[in-house]
Amino acid sequence: MPSLLLLHGPNLNILGTREPEIYGSLTLADINTRLIEAGRELGVEVRAYQSNSEGALIDALHDARGWASGVLFNPGGYTHTSVALRDAVSAIGLPVIEVHLSNVYAREEFRHTSLLSPVCKGKITGFGWRSYWLGLLALVKLLEE
């Protein structure tokens, strides 16, 4: 059974109480549970990890080379700032799908720029927790081809 990394960046650990009008009322644990279950139905193992620190996210991406077939990644605010995370995504040679709960293009202009998008397979933004679910579906279909 293929394994996928579900990677969450900064401030996503406080989902549920963090600006629920933007990010919804599910907690990160709720989202992880739904994705692990959806993965099981699709025949893949989903392993979830969250960190608020850039270095730990880079380490998780490096580590994924050893066991994962692909990555679903919500880089949070680092999306718009991190050359180091972009380099890590580019370096690992795994398909990475960028995911956002909110529609970043309907928000402040600084959120319209992603340093990571050019090195990701694709990007899903604006569908709440279902952005992750759609990303999972896309990644599984990609791996099946």
Give the residue numbers marked as catalytic.
23, 100
DSSP collapsed to 3 states, 84-124? HHHHHHHHHCCCEEEEECCCHHHCCHHHHCCCCHHHCCEEE
* N- to C-terminal Cα separation, the chain: 15
Report the residue from 100, 115, 116, 133 that binds ligand DQA according to the rule CB under 6 A: 100
Residues 44 and 2: beta-carbon distance below 8 Å: yes
Q: Is 11 in the site for ligand DQA (CB under 6 A)?
A: yes
Single out the segment in contact with ligand DQA by CB under 6 A; choices: 25-33, 37-45, 57-65, 75-83.
Answer: 75-83
Single out the segment in contact with ligand DQA by CB under 6 A; choices: 43-51, 53-61, 94-102, 135-143.
Answer: 94-102
Binding site for ligand DQA (CB under 6 A): 11, 74, 76-77, 79, 100-102, 104, 111
